[in-house]
Amino acid sequence: MAATSIPDAVLIRFSVLHRLLHWVVMIGFVGLALTGFSLYFGSQWWARGVVFLLGGPERFGYWHRFWAVITYGSVLIHLGWLFYFKTLLKGRLTGPQTLFPSPKDFKDLSGHIRYFLGQARPPRFDRFTYYEKFDYWAILVGMNTMGLTGLILWFPEFFSVFMPGYFINLAQIIHLYEAIMAVALKLVCHMITAHLRPEIFPLDRTIFSGRTTAERMQKEHGGEWDTWSNPAGSGPSAVAKAVAQEKLADALPTGREGGTI
């Protein structure tokens, strides 16, 4: 096929908006974790250092809320984009091109684990692997629960008008445990699987540049590659759109845009 005959073909995997939102979420997430944990572990010396650097305890809460608004703003922008994608671009929100969970993810998971244990070849992932989907949904669901519990803690007087008072306690507990889970997963699992594995080390530039190569697509997203090379397959008939020469890389290929949720 055409794609395989271009050895250094450059594929656009993430649009400008999604690269930008990754930056915002990345910075906002670190800001939230730093300020939030500095409050929870306030008796520790490093937390006091953070508080000092951010201008003292009285301004400290504002920083946490500042990052919260910025980070949740990116969720709203993303949801707005999903709406735009569905209604105006007539895109699909389900299927192998999207981040919507499918039965194949569970097959891929068990196949991947068998690969780890040396019992099978690695699965041929679709456009988004199961662990990428987990990262996405963990953030999307997590941001909303963190946002809701955070709002309860931000405006406890308002929420206690129609909620029992001890829901403030529950919000505090859920907010804390979700934060621990999110930081424990993103800081270790996301960093290892996305950036620090020997295959990729030290950094996967795809999320920052949006570009990947045909070679990597064949290896990491073989399932999607197969649908391209087989026009009868379920994927978009868009080998030409999917594969662009280096000079076209900065332009936004709208057809490919569609799949990036």
| Binding region for another protein (CB under 8 A) | 38-40, 42-43, 47-49, 51-52, 56-58, 60-61, 112-113, 115-118, 131, 134, 153, 156-158, 160-161, 163-170, 172-174, 177-178, 180-181, 184-185, 188-189, 192-193, 197-199
Minimum separation from the CB atom of position 192 to another protein (A): 4
Beta strands in the chain (DSSP E): 10-12, 211-213, 243-244
Between residues 132 and 257, which has the closer beta carbon with respect to another protein? 132
Minimum separation from the CB atom of position 39 to another protein (A): 6
Between residues 156 and 233, which has the closer beta carbon with respect to another protein? 156
Between residues 206 and 260, which has the closer beta carbon with respect to another protein? 206
Q: How many CB atoms lie within 10 A of CB 82?
A: 13
Place of tokens 């996301």: 190
Beta-bridge partners for 12: 211
How far apart CA 111 and CA 113 sit, in angstroms, is 5
Minimum separation from the CB atom of position 96 to another protein (A): 22
Between residues 100 and 131, which has the closer beta carbon with respect to another protein? 131
* Contact yes or no for 195/22 (Cβ under 8 A): no
Between residues 48 and 211, which has the closer beta carbon with respect to another protein? 48
Minimum separation from the CB atom of position 145 to another protein (A): 11
How far apart CA 76 and CA 93 sit, in angstroms, is 17
Query: Residues 191, 197, 201, 204: what is their CA dihedral angle, to the nearest 10 degrees?
Result: -60
Minimum separation from the CB atom of position 104 to another protein (A): 18
How far apart CA 78 and CA 59 sit, in angstroms, is 29
